[in-house]
Amino acid sequence: MTASPSLLQVSPSDAELVRRVRQGDLDAYGPLMTRYRLRFGRYAYHLLGNESDAEEALQDAFTLAYRSLDRCRHPERFAAWLFRILVNRCRTTGARRGREQARRAPLEAADGIGVHHPSEEAMRREELARGLGRLVPEQREAFLLKYVEELSYEEMAELTGAGESALKMRVKRACERLRDLLSDTDAS
């Protein structure tokens, strides 16, 4: 996974913060979490389908990462390591709860529009969330990694353990399914 240029320029670096945390400075972990909460939270939010589960998955991933920090072999690549933990955490969240079918589709619009008269934008968000929710989990995961997180297939394979051919097929199927589900409402 490639860190964005803006994240490469921040100071102190991830590696420096990881070093401080390893030395016992728990407060140094706060900036690390803040740095990746929204960026990685977006993935969890779209994969799990709601704010509450996304925040819980994030909390768990941050906690797991902290407790396993001694095993982060390349602190300068903390972001990629953390994201791997989050991706796996999102998978086990689904497994743990077995509630993929009960996935809550409606998403609260970021602009706070009320439920009685949702804006056109909010309705599009909701339709898109419903469409994502109807993908099988593997396809939803592959689609988000490819098109939203913009990973290469090589990176996706490393992250998920699946073969590149299988991932391409999952993305292809996801696109076809989303087109079938959403083309009537066109998300333009």
Partner 1 sequence: MHPDDRSDEPRDPFIERLAAQLREPVSLSPEVERVVLDRLRARPTQRRWPAVAAGLAAGIAAAFAAGLLVGRWTAAPPAGGSSVRPVEFALRTPADSAVVVVGDFNDWNPAATPLHRASDGVWSVTVPLRPGRYRYTFIVDGTRWRRDPAAPPALEDDFGAPTSVITIAQR
Residues forming the site for partner 1 (CB under 8 A): 2, 26-27, 29-30, 33-34, 37-38, 41-42, 45-46, 51, 54-55, 58-60, 62-64, 66-68, 70-71, 84-85, 88-89, 91-92, 95-98, 108, 110, 124-125, 128, 131-132, 144, 147-148, 150-155, 160-162, 175, 178-179, 182-183, 186-188
Q: How far is the CB of 177 from partner 1 (least distance, A)?
A: 11
Q: How far is the CB of 69 from partner 1 (least distance, A)?
A: 8
Q: How far is the CB of 115 from partner 1 (least distance, A)?
A: 16
Q: How far is the CB of 178 from partner 1 (least distance, A)?
A: 6
Which lies closer to partner 1 via its Cβ, residue 16 or residue 147?
A: 147
Which lies closer to partner 1 via its Cβ, residue 64 or residue 105?
A: 64
Measured distance CA(89)–CA(163) in Å, rounded: 20
